[in-house]
Structure 1
Amino acid sequence: MRRGSWHIKSEGQTLTLSRGLRARLDVAASTSLPDAGRTKIAHQVRQDLWRALQGLKGFSPVIKVRREAGQLHVIAGGEVSGHIARDHVECVIQGVLDNPEKRTRWLNYARHKSSKLADRT
């Protein structure tokens, strides 16, 4: 599925949000969050990741969100064209994922409004 200029691919319990059809993770970091809407979490993480790395030439964000055992496992990163300081970029990504204010905002935005939701994407 394509939403705006973002591709959203859902396979089982895993949702992938990327700019193009190909979702390549040259750099990545991960975290776990309480269960919430996968699509909303993916977009919120993507926005904050882009803000943190917008100066990185050739960066294209990729977010994977997997629902498992009542939690969301998030892998954030993306494709980078050109030479990068991989360790530094992954440290920046991890900093975004570990930021308590951002995590709270993401969850408030993506919290399930009703337990009767049929499609909890």
Structure 2
Amino acid sequence: MSRRGWHILREGRTLTLARHLPARFDFGVEAQFETMGKLRLAQQVRQDMWRALRDVRGFSPVVHVEEQDHGLRLRAGGRVEGPAPRASLENTVAGLLACPRNRARWRAYAGGAA
């Protein structure tokens, strides 16, 4: 564990950021990004996802980032230790990942091209 209680798992071309191990996706949404800093991107997505879902009882965010030939594939979601409508959680995270303002902010922080 590092970074104030967050697990940062690196395996080859992938990075997973999770509060609890094993990292578990009870729900998740994928998005594509251009090449940028995986850890910085994961941290920003995790923070914004937490802000959006902090009222969901038992929510623990997980962000998985995988390098691909033409950028990054990111999966954001996490575990939920209680009843929660999966479709609603996925819609919230999908909106967060698709938001142009969020993406521009994340790109600026993580070192992506403009």
- Tell me whether the two structures share a fold, i.e. TM-score over 0.5: yes
**Unmatched 5+ residue regions in structure 1?**
114-121
Matched, 1:79 2:79: yes
The aligned residue for residue 46 of structure 1 is 46
Instruction: Say whether 1:109 aligns with 2:109.
Output: yes
Unaligned runs of 5+ in 2: none
Of all paired residues, the percent bearing the same amino acid is 43
| Displacement after TM superposition at 1:4 (Å) | 1.6
1:44 is paired with a residue whose SS is helix
Distance 1:30 1:112, change over 3 A: closer
Provide the residue aligned with 1:99 in structure 2: 99
Where do 1:2-17 residues align within 5 Å?
2-17=2-17
**What amino acid does structure 2 have at the position aligned with 1:105?**
R
Structure 1 residue 112 displacement after superposition: 5.8
Aligned structure 1 segments of 4 or more residues deviating by more than 2 angstroms: none
Q: TM-score, normalised by structure 1?
A: 0.89
Q: Report if the CA contact (8 A) 2:34-2:112 is conserved.
A: no
- RMSD, matched Cα: 1.3
TM-score by length of structure 2 reads 0.95
- Spell out the pairing of 1:18-33 with structure 2 (5 A cutoff): 18-33=18-33
CA distance in 2, matches of 1:112, 1:105: 10
How far apart, in 2, do the equivalents of 1:84 and 1:54 lie?
12
Count matched residues. Answer: 113
Query: How far did 1:83 drift?
Result: 1.1
The structural deviation recorded for 1:89 is: 0.7
Equivalent-residue separation in structure 1 for 2:68 and 2:112 (angstroms): 16
The structure whose Rg is larger is 1
